[in-house]
Chain A
Amino acid sequence: ETGVTQSPTHLIKTRGQQVTLRCSSQSGHNTVSWYQQALGQGPQFIFQYYREEENGRGNFPPRFSGLQFPNYSSELNVNALELDDSALYLCASSLAWVQGSRETQYFGPGTRLLVL
Chain B
Amino acid sequence: DAKTTQPPSMDCAEGRAANLPCNHSTISGNEYVYWYRQIHSQGPQYIIHGLKNNETNEMASLIITEDRKSSTLILPHATLRDTAVYYCIVAAYSGAGSYQLTFGKGTKLSVIP
Asked if A50 and B98 make an inter-chain contact with CB atoms under 8 angstroms apart, the answer reads yes
Interface size counted on chain B using CB atoms at 8 A: 26
- Give A57's nearest chain B residue, CB to CB: B100
Closest Cβ–Cβ distance, residue A72 to chain B (whole Å): 13
Complex: A66 Cα to B87 Cα, angstroms: 26
Asked if A90 and B100 make an inter-chain contact with CB atoms under 8 angstroms apart, the answer reads no
Closest Cβ–Cβ distance, residue A74 to chain B (whole Å): 15
- Give A48's nearest chain B residue, CB to CB: B98
CB neighbours of A103 from chain B (8 A): 99
Asked if A55 and B97 make an inter-chain contact with CB atoms under 8 angstroms apart, the answer reads yes
Complex: A58 Cα to B106 Cα, angstroms: 20
Report the stretch among B40-48, B66-74, B76-84 that lies at the interface: B40-48
CB neighbours of A42 from chain B (8 A): 2, 87, 103-106
- Produce 1/0 per residue, A86-114, CB < 8 A to B: 00101010001111001111111110100
**What is the total of A-B residue contacts with beta carbons within 8 Å?**
72
Asked if B93 and A56 make an inter-chain contact with CB atoms under 8 angstroms apart, the answer reads no
- Give B48's nearest chain A residue, CB to CB: A104
CB neighbours of B34 from chain A (8 A): 104
Complex: A50 Cα to B43 Cα, angstroms: 21
Residues of B within 8 A of A (CB): 2, 30, 32, 34, 36, 41-46, 49, 87, 93-94, 96-106
Asked if B49 and A102 make an inter-chain contact with CB atoms under 8 angstroms apart, the answer reads yes
Can you list 24 contacts pairing A with B, beta carbon distance less than 8 Å? A4-B43, A33-B101, A42-B87, A42-B103, A42-B104, A44-B103, A48-B98, A48-B100, A50-B98, A55-B96, A55-B98, A56-B94, A88-B41, A90-B43, A92-B43, A92-B101, A96-B98, A97-B93, A99-B30, A99-B93, A104-B46, A105-B46, A106-B46, A109-B42
CB neighbours of A50 from chain B (8 A): 96-98
CB neighbours of B36 from chain A (8 A): 107
